Structure 1
Amino acid sequence: MKYNYFGKKILILGIGLTGISCIHFFLKKGVIPKIIDESKNPVFLKKIPKNIPFFLGNLNNKWILEADIIVISPGISSFKPILIHARSLGIEIISDIELFSREAIFPIISITGTNGKSTVATMVEKIAKKSGYKVCLGGNIGVPILNMLNQKVDFYILELSSFQLENTFTLKSKIAVVLNISEDHINRYPEGFKQYKKIKLSLYQRAEICIVNVKNKLHDVIQTNKSKKYITFGTQNSDYQVHYNHKNVILSRKNKKILDISQTLLWGAHNHQNALVALAISDSIKCPRHCIITTLQKFSSLPHRLQIIHRKKGIDWINDSKSTNVNSTKVALNSLNTSGTIRLLLGGDSKSANFNILKDDFEKFKIKIYCFGKDGKNISQICKKKSIYFDTLQQAMKLIIKEAISGDTVLLSPGCSSLDQFSSFEERGNIFMKITKDIAS
């Protein structure tokens, strides 16, 4: 179906990279949109073309209710009362992913999940390129997705967040995978976790090949639909498996060995699973096995994701600032192999998540917890005897520097959004790395 936007009143919410890409999308269609940003001084204000009307400081209700189509940036909740009202009046509210879906002519590989989606998307991109495919990676990573439309590719690889999927309705994926679902962004959704899960699983609705995590109990999406193909992972009875044999970790397909993890740079059960899904996706687009294996053997963790940044005097310093939800912290703790004390930096904006799920881990590990940020005080109450609270990450690290001894692991895995005190998880991780390097010098 060809969409015609000519003559429509288009409103874009958010003057970020997504919003700027939407402006240029509509200008190419001969449509001049309006744009709103809740900030009084958005970073990309100077990138707005001079003929574009804009409004700053709050959501302009008049502009919203006059629009035919509203394109909403992922950082703005679509559950704001004015937007719920607009939707009830028949005003169409969509994402940039929806705009892309309506225009894309090449096959799409879509990847979402609470944790691991950036890593899997990057693995698949590298394997596909090694295999001779022309691919473009975008969405929640890489370039704004609308900028990919003018590129001729064999596959688009999309890393998608729940925020982007909220207002995406016609996405047809060649391959879709929901890696895992655990509590995250619960404060965003009026109906809580149930609504968050439903939005994630919507990725499968129009997909041709569905790669499904059976262990995470997501197999209820599997139907007797002959137009879809289902591939499973997560258990020993799945199509793709991780086998733990003594000290060896083996990736297999239908019990046939494909890769020994000891031949890679990957560590931690989460990365074994990430590599397994990348293998399943790559098999599905017929990448040669030797390209898959050699790429996974050379792949190392992305920045800010369980990244060992320093080793000195027997102390490991690990940057896992991308840990923005409680389950990712749980994964990080259970990935460590240390006999010393784990010195965990935990805190930020918890997004109303339940941190009590870490209680058993706090009890079983030799651990001291350094809580900080907006919700750090509340989090520190979960295990009072092992926790201490600070206003900031920097203050917490000053004490860690004095207390850490040989054999210890200092782990920044905050389990929270960084936006209470930092511009992004990258800034939080970079500050942690800077302080660590200052210590080293």
Structure 2
Amino acid sequence: MTVETFSEKPVIVAGAGRSGLLAARLLAGEGARVTLRDDRPRADVEASLGEPIPAGIAFLRGMPGEGEVRRSALLVVSPGVPREKLPLSALSAAGVPVWGELELGFRRFQGKVAAITGTNGKSTVTTLVGGMASGSFPKVFVGGNLGTPFVAAAGATCEWGVVEVSSFQLESITSFRPRVAALLNLTEDHRDRYATKEAYFEAKMAIFRNQGPSDTAVVHADDPEVTARLGSIRARLLPFSVSRALEEGAFLSGGEMVLRRPSGEERYPRAVLKIPGLQNVENALAAIAVARSMEISPQEVLAELARFPGLPHRVEFVRSVAGVSYFNDSKGTNVGAVLAALDGFPEPVVLIAGGKDKGVDFRPLRPALGRKARAVVLLGEARDRMARELAGAAPITVSGTLAQAVRAAAEAARTGDAVVFSPACSSFDMFRNFEERGEAFRKAVEELPG
């Protein structure tokens, strides 16, 4: 791909989070005249970043207007800035390209890309594949929506970039073309950003938009929303399934994870996985399919499956108190994640849930709660609506703080139960992020007597 440069040209970066600052730095380093914009005051932005905005980059508060964008050569939009906040008609009329940080990173990256998206599991699969790739290739970038923004790898010469991508990032791609792309699942999320769940699903499907027949699309064969959209994919399909054997693809067969392709069949023992639950078998199957499509050796695939300890805040065991086990799934920020977490517990569960209300429908939780839940403890901005939509599925208690919710769950639980903190909501009503929320849960559990 020809690298388009913006030396001496005016460029706007909308959104001054970590990825926005890295994009601004990259373009300024290439000689562009960069203006960084954010709705927050400069002092708040710098406090959030933990560093000052570099002297060579201008900062203006608020999003750009029509006149400013008409004079610009490029607008880079950060994932956290909805496109509706930009003067899109003026940008279009002036022919100004609008790239996300993902697109900018891709255009500057020297290497092949494997990209992973989905409502749930993408950080686990990205980390698994990244570990497998790091054992097979001399230089690999692992990051994206998980950890280090992709634009940080600009100019780096790597064999592969293993990149987690979100729907927000995929809204602003034009040429982004992963050699291997994986869609793990599709469940309703981010209704505070998307008017319909279909709009959110279509944003996710953009990961396949620029692929061709020489590329590979790893897809979840058990997810009806994924399989309903396979007709638009031009890449070679490599499905995965935990429910049935596949003529071609990755699937669970008894105690083995099988990859079947025209070149032959490979088997990996399920027992090597340290990460619990059927959802993590799905994640492992997806990782196997992605990694082998990247030509990572079976030996490295098996080695990483066996050593991967799991990621923090994802159905993470905290401790047992009085015969009750406590699990931190603070990353469970949507209904699909909670359903997957509940599915991994054969014992009765006391669920702690609630947080920022993203406008999703909580009623799909009702059947699982009816089967699994001894009680439900709700907190946060969404608690009242959740209580209404879940009423009757299980006994419900409402708490004001996370510490109170943990104590209420401990009172409701019986010996042999699991208390699972899986919020079905984002954290931003009470915490800065899901990590801070998970640490607060862990602390509250550690403070329980017993």
Amino acid at match of 2:260: K
CA contact (8 A) 1:318 1:409 kept: yes
CA contact (8 A) 1:232 1:238 kept: no
Partner of 1:128: 133
Amino acid at match of 1:378: R
Q: How does 1:213-292 map to 2 (within 5 A)?
A: 213-217=220-224, 218-219=226-227, 222=230, 228-234=235-241, 235-237=244-246, 239-243=248-252, 245=254, 249-254=255-260, 256=265, 258-292=267-301
Residue 75 of structure 1, CA deviation: 1.1
Question: Structure 1 residues 410, 76: closer, same or farther in 2, change over 3 A?
Answer: same
Residue 76 of structure 1, CA deviation: 1.3
Q: Quote the Cα distance in structure 1 between the aligned partners of 2:278 and 2:50.
A: 43
Q: Quote the Cα distance in structure 2 between the aligned partners of 1:204 and 1:171.
A: 9
Which sections of structure 1, spanning at least 5 residues, go unmatched? Answer: none
Partner of 1:321: 330
Partner of 2:378: 371
Partner of 2:119: 114
Q: How many residues align?
A: 432
Partner of 1:342: 349
Partner of 2:400: 391
Q: Quote the Cα distance in structure 2 between the aligned partners of 1:198 and 1:107.
A: 24
What secondary structure sits across from 2:203 in the alignment?
A: helix
Question: Structure 1 residues 388, 216: closer, same or farther in 2, change over 3 A?
Answer: same
Residues 45-96 of structure 1: CA deviation (Å, up to 9, x unaligned): 743112322123x33536456544221111111123x434444434432211
Question: Structure 1 residues 252, 150: closer, same or farther in 2, change over 3 A?
Answer: same
Residue among 74, 77, 83 paired with 2:87: 83
Residues 99-121 of structure 1: CA deviation (Å, up to 9, x unaligned): 11222221011111111111001
Residue 213 of structure 1, CA deviation: 1.9
CA contact (8 A) 1:14 1:73 kept: yes
Residues 120-148 of structure 1: CA deviation (Å, up to 9, x unaligned): 01001111122244211121012121211
Residue 36 of structure 1, CA deviation: 1.3
CA contact (8 A) 1:325 1:350 kept: no
Q: How does 1:386-425 map to 2 (within 5 A)?
A: 386-425=395-434
Partner of 2:389: 382
Question: Structure 1 residues 375, 366: closer, same or farther in 2, change over 3 A?
Answer: closer
Partner of 1:165: 170
Say whether residues 1:211 and 2:215 are aligned partners.
no
Q: Quote the Cα distance in structure 2 between the aligned partners of 1:149 and 1:230.
A: 29
Amino acid at match of 1:254: R
Residues 323-363 of structure 1: CA deviation (Å, up to 9, x unaligned): 1111100111111121xx41111111231111110111121
Q: How does 1:15-30 map to 2 (within 5 A)?
A: 15-30=16-31
Residue 241 of structure 1, CA deviation: 3.8
CA contact (8 A) 2:106 2:151 kept: no
Amino acid at match of 1:251: M
CA contact (8 A) 1:172 1:206 kept: yes
Residue 440 of structure 1, CA deviation: 5.7
Partner of 2:10: 9
CA contact (8 A) 1:20 1:47 kept: no
CA contact (8 A) 1:79 1:189 kept: no
Amino acid at match of 1:253: L
Question: Structure 1 residues 214, 436: closer, same or farther in 2, change over 3 A?
Answer: same
Residue 174 of structure 1, CA deviation: 1.1
Amino acid at match of 2:320: R
Q: Structure 1 vs Structure 2: percent identity of aligned residues? A: 26
Residue among 105, 108, 116 paired with 1:103: 108
**Worse overlay, 130-139 or 318-327:** 130-139
Q: Quote the Cα distance in structure 1 between the aligned partners of 2:223 and 2:277.
A: 17
Residue among 309, 312, 315 paired with 2:318: 309
CA contact (8 A) 2:351 2:419 kept: yes
Residue 380 of structure 1, CA deviation: 1.1
What secondary structure sits across from 2:192 in the alignment?
A: helix
Q: Quote the Cα distance in structure 2 between the aligned partners of 1:87 and 1:398.
A: 53
What value does the CA root-mean-square deviation take over the aligned residues?
Answer: 2.2
Could you state the TM-score of these two structures normalised by the residue count of structure 2? 0.90
Amino acid at match of 1:343: V
CA contact (8 A) 2:100 2:169 kept: yes
Residue 257 of structure 1, CA deviation: 6.0
What secondary structure sits across from 1:186 in the alignment?
A: coil
What secondary structure sits across from 2:199 in the alignment?
A: helix
Q: Quote the Cα distance in structure 1 between the aligned partners of 2:253 and 2:320.
A: 28
Amino acid at match of 1:277: A
Residues 187-217 of structure 1: CA deviation (Å, up to 9, x unaligned): 2123x11111111111112231111222224
Residue 253 of structure 1, CA deviation: 1.9
What secondary structure sits across from 1:157 in the alignment?
A: strand
Q: Quote the Cα distance in structure 1 between the aligned partners of 2:207 and 2:398.
A: 40
Amino acid at match of 1:59: M
CA contact (8 A) 1:240 1:251 kept: no
What secondary structure sits across from 2:405 in the alignment?
A: helix
Q: Quote the Cα distance in structure 2 between the aligned partners of 1:241 and 1:23.
A: 41
Residues 211-263 of structure 1: CA deviation (Å, up to 9, x unaligned): 122222434555698x8322122242352343353xxx421123956122123
Could you state the TM-score of these two structures normalised by the residue count of structure 1? 0.92
Question: Structure 1 residues 286, 429: closer, same or farther in 2, change over 3 A?
Answer: same
Q: How does 1:424-435 map to 2 (within 5 A)?
A: 424-435=433-444
